[in-house]
Chains A and B, each alone.
Chain A
């Protein structure tokens, strides 16, 4: 069965601190995709990144970086020098070939609420 676990329910940091959001996934498939979405207080869901299971290279986009480790089934997200605007709920999600019946449907983690204080 597919599962995504975000063990950190809430994280609070002070602005300019670095913060890492953890994501652990379970799948029996060898081909799968991992995603991160951001949900700011306004409520919309904003796509951040997609990574396929064959690409283990870490990715950096500005202050955001992602560490994908198949050996530990983790896809962690780090925000460097956090800002108040980073305050949001962050979701990690999984889509695999077998579990999604090749439709790309997503299995979401429970989400991590990040609060960045000034």
Chain B
């Protein structure tokens, strides 16, 4: 299906485990973003990417790693999950800077 998808939609894991959240878009958008949503904080940027093999840190990058070997995929990895990383994670993409960002459906991650 065309659009932006995230998997899994729900994930429960334990402290210390590595977790990878997947993001896939079919539009060939250059720009992709990972945000986390927490009550009282709105959405905060974790990492972003301007193109394949170009990534950079956002506001809250600690504990996360990203890669972008292909334009359409932008996985987010929690190297050693902590309870504070319990959150809803949104992936987004846009054609060019400052255009509308299209958001995926989100992944609800719980770290026990």
Contacts and interface: CB of A to CB of B under 8 A. Distances in A.
Interface of A: 4, 6, 33, 35, 37, 43-45, 47, 50, 52, 91, 93, 95, 100-111
A108 B106 CA distance: 16
A108 B98 contact: no
Contact of A104 (B43, B88, B90, B96): B96
Nearest to B94: A104
Contacts, number: 61
A111 B88 contact: no
Contact of A95 (B41, B44, B98): B98
Contact of B101 (A43, A44, A47, A109): A47
Nearest to A50: B100
Interface of B: 31, 33, 35, 40-45, 48, 50, 56, 58, 88, 90, 92, 94, 96-103, 105-106
Contact of B43 (A52, A100, A103, A106): A106
Nearest to B102: A47
Contacts of B92: 45
The prevalent SS among residues of B at the interface is strand
Contacts of A4: 42
A106 B99 contact: no
B67 to A, nearest CB: 17
A103 B96 CA distance: 8
B90 A45 contact: yes
Contacts of B94: 104
Given A43-B88, A44-B105, A103-B31, A108 B96 contact: no
Nearest to A49: B100
Contacts of B102: 47
